[in-house]
Amino acid sequence: MQQSTFTRFLRTHLCLLALVATVQGCATHSFKQPAFILDESLLDGVQVFGHPVAPAPEISLLTLSPEMETFVGPDITGSDISFVRFRRLMKKLVDENYFEDSYDASGTYPAAKTFALRRGNCLGYTNMFISLARAAGLSASYQLIDELPQWNVEAGYLVRNNHISVLLEDMNFSGYSNSQLTVDFNYVGADPFTPRTPITDTHAESLFYTNIAVDYLREGDHETAFAYLKRAILAAPRNKDSWNNLGVLFSVVDQPLLAQRAYEKVLSLDPRNKTAIAGMARTLETLQMFAQAKMYRKAMKRYQQRNPFYHYAVAEYEYRRGFYEQALIAIERAIDLRRNNSRFYALRAVTAQALGDETLAAKSRQRQAKYDKVEPRRISPHTLRVYAPF
């Protein structure tokens, strides 16, 4: 895989608990989705490893341990008011130091392990909290934050931070009934207007296995990564992120025809999926199918040019290589597209300083201070990862 490949993560930074309450008022409609047929030849592993590869073992994300059952005692459950039970649960977790220096970047753990260790990453804590909340009689589920625009470049990769949180429904508080509450284990909560998508437990399990798969993929253990991706896809066949990662794995092991078929699965679910479009462009070029690749490359370029975070990532990459003029051009493009992002001005400040332009550096620092309304973020390695060509 070339250095121009990037990683797209869904990952969060455990520390700050953000609560967002909304009143339910919209009816939901159920639409029957067309059948999605698994391609067994993509999942058996024979063409890649020369023998069948079994899926990784199943892991129960939400099983309560005896200690967790004891934790959710009458001191929490002894109220008919859902918000009171929530408040008691949260207070007990805080009082018993479950959020004190507890962030563990590698802690993609199920609920019981997170509870026992008192540490984990955001997905681990989300698993734990949902399990405890349900034991307390609360309606808790996973919620995917569709777009949390934070990008970084690390070691030649473009890293996108998406986000997962807890959705509590049927909450009664402050004169409202049947309201919703978001519990967000993150340094910086997502904007209240950011699109959110409730997801099923099985989809969350798929994200969990996908995370583990990427750890093995980065370590070069391709067969174990494949086993976890297989488990992820079996858990939630429509999880596009798992199929995208499978496409990258096939590319890494020089199986472009299989990679093409994996990306086709994503595009059958979402014809505009940008990660799959980028992957398909690179794969078709590898297969020397240049006419077809040109269409995907054109679509990818259109998206990139309109995306300020793409230009930010390019600027950071060029800055780290010492190409400061190219970095300044890229960060100016990012600022032209979005003028209220403090991180853009922080990068422009250090780039301008490297070029000896103290006036622009000072102006950039002023702009950074204006828009920097949160504490600096500590970057964590993951919660959900999806690879795609840069």
Q: Please tell me the predicted confidence (pLDDT) of residue 175.
A: 64
Which residue, 70, 179, 68, is CA-closest to 127? 68
Q: 310 is written with which tokens? A: 């793409």
What is the enclosing helix (H) or strand (E) of 10? strand 5-10
Residue 333 lies inside a defined structural domain of this protein? yes
- Could you give the CA distance from residue 132 to residue 189 in angstroms, rounded to a whole number? 22
Residue 127 falls inside a structural domain: yes
pTM across the whole model: 0.76
Are residue 207 and residue 84 in the same domain, yes or no? yes
d(CA 14, CA 117): 15
d(CA 285, CA 202): 35
Token pair 């649960």 is found at 89
**Chain CA centroid to CA 29, Å:** 26
Give the pLDDT confidence score for residue 263 in this predicted structure: 95
Domain total in the chain = 2
Residues near 196 by beta carbon (within 8 Å), at least 6 away in sequence: 143, 144, 145, 146, 165, 167, 182, 190
Q: Are residues 312 and 215 in the same domain?
A: no
Judgement on whether residues 62 and 195 belong to the same structural domain of the protein: yes
Q: Please list the residues that pair with 145 across neighbouring strands.
A: 163, 196
Burial of 379 (0-12, 13-18, 19+ CB in 10 A): middle
Asked if the structure places residue 115 within a domain, the reply is yes
Same domain, 219 and 313: no
Quote the domain boundaries for residue 116.
5-24+37-223
Mark whether 178 and 51 lie in a shared domain.
yes
Whole-angstrom distance, CA of residue 152 vs CA of residue 247: 23
Report the pLDDT value the prediction gives residue 33, as an integer from 0 to 100.
52
Could you tell me if 8 and 158 are in contact, meaning their C-beta atoms sit under 8 angstroms apart?
yes
Same-domain check for residues 64 and 199: yes
Nearest to 227 by CA among 210, 248, 203, 251: 210
Q: Extract the residue ranges of the chain whose pLDDT is less than 70.
A: 1-35, 146-162, 174-178, 186-194, 373-390
Give the per-residue pLDDT at 312: 87
- pLDDT value, residue 306: 85
Residue-level pLDDT at 287: 96
Question: Is residue 379, in this structure, part of any structural domain at all?
Answer: no
Q: Same structural domain for residues 96 and 212?
A: yes
Q: Does residue 47 sit within a domain?
A: yes
Whether 194 contacts 146, CB under 8 Å:
yes
Query: 223, 243, 259 — which closes off a domain?
Result: 223
Same domain, 20 and 124: yes
Q: Is 81 within a domain?
A: yes
Q: Is 351 part of any domain?
A: yes
**Domain CATH code at residue 349:** 1.25.40.10
In a domain, 385, yes or no: no
Report residue 216 CA to chain centroid gap: 17
Are residues 88 and 205 part of one domain? yes
